[in-house]
A and B are shown apart, each in its own frame.
Chain A
């Protein structure tokens, strides 16, 4: 059973398009996250959601918007894609978002903007 799954695995698109990446976790966790990993492997948190409330929002452009229809899903919508958005995006989840929680990561979505 896949604990944290993401779709699609690869996404290639043109500049200016709008795209979405889906994430689902079947662990019963209360908190979910989105991370961006750039070409140098640097991993940076973008958002986290706890019971449908946004609790972390780093300095991410407002073209990026997380949407959580329920606590098992946290989708990432990106409007007006730019070249610099090319990266690998990871979804993760943890039990309740406490500082000591282990985060479980999905396999990643490689986004390429042409």
Chain B
């Protein structure tokens, strides 16, 4: 089975600053990788996903992530955050031979004015 580790439980950052949310995964097979965002009192919403091809993936709301196979990482980045980006962010991994999606513990991004 695969697993994912989000290295930071909380990330505080000031508005318009860049941010990186870290995610590392473990799997014995090739994987698909996802980032989901959960705004307060809402369900999860897909930000972006890596299936194959280019290792740099662009998603909604100006977010992007880079798949690094050698480091087994899929870090999420945004060059300039807004107050509205305050939310919980979940990294998820799924093996390409199963439909068992595993989520990380989440990273709470708090953007301060």
Contacts and interface: CB of A to CB of B under 8 A. Distances in A.
A107 B46 contact: no
B94 interface: yes
- Chain B interface, DSSP helix/strand/loop, else mixed: strand
B103 A100 contact: no
B99 A56 contact: yes
B13 interface: no
Interface residues of B, number: 25
A105 B43 contact: yes
A56 B100 contact: yes
Contact of B46 (A90, A102, A106): A102
Contacts, number: 58
B100 A107 contact: no
B42 A108 contact: yes
Interface of B: 32, 34, 36, 41-46, 49, 51, 88, 90, 94-101, 103, 105-106, 108
Contacts of A41: 88, 105-106, 108
Interface of A: 4, 31, 40-45, 48, 55-56, 90, 92, 97-108
Contacts of B105: 40-42
Contacts of A99: 32, 94-99
B34 to A, nearest CB: 8
Contacts of B90: 43
